[in-house]
Amino acid sequence: MRSRARSAIALAVAAGAGGILSSCDVGPSHTLNPKSVQSQIAKQLSSRYPVSGVLVVCPGKIPDQVGFKFSCTVSFNGGTVRLDGEVTSSKGSYNIRPEEAIISTAQAATTLESDISAQVHATTKVDCGPVSVKVVPVGGQFSCQATITGQGTRRVTVTVEDLDGHFRYSVAPPSSSS
């Protein structure tokens, strides 16, 4: 079966292209409030993904200097991703971009079900495992199982193409035992 390029939900918000554009309080020492930055990142991730227990750790001092770069670490559902940030204004605005794609497995499964069903003209159910969100490097892969009515179960290999969560996939041919 041929490969197809598709997109799943990835960390794409107001700044587009996989980044978070946000702002927070600037303290009297001309630094961004780290608790505010961490809270905003956690809220944005929680609102976009089926994740719980989001823990964000950013540096204690982030100067409000335009162009200042910083990194935060986010942990959720057993996964960890590093976010690279850059201050975009002296009024507390910043842009954050993940180093790896954050993929909603439910959205990926829905996209795959639709595509594969259309290709094989049969109802397809896709399971990408019990984890609700996968953190995958660009070029990295993860596997799902597609159960196709009348054709059995096939392995689907998903390859992440960019930080926005675009992916291509290939469906293995039916095994002789299917």
pLDDT digits (tens, 9 = 90+) for 122-163: 999 999 999 888 999 999 999 999 999 999 999 999 999 999
d(CA 31, CA 120): 56
Question: What pLDDT was estimated at residue 58?
Answer: 93
* pLDDT tops 60 at residue 66: yes
Residue 14 domain-assigned (yes or no): no
- From 99, 116, 141, the end of a domain falls on 99
pTM of the model: 0.77
In a domain, 51, yes or no: yes
Are residues 66 and 25 part of one domain?
Answer: yes
Q: Which domain holds residue 80?
A: 20-99
| pLDDT, position 177 | 56
Identify whether 140 is part of a domain.
Answer: yes
Distance CA 77, CA 75 (A): 7
Question: Do 95 and 107 share a structural domain?
Answer: no
Question: In whole angstroms, what is the distance from residue 49 CA to residue 59 CA?
Answer: 24
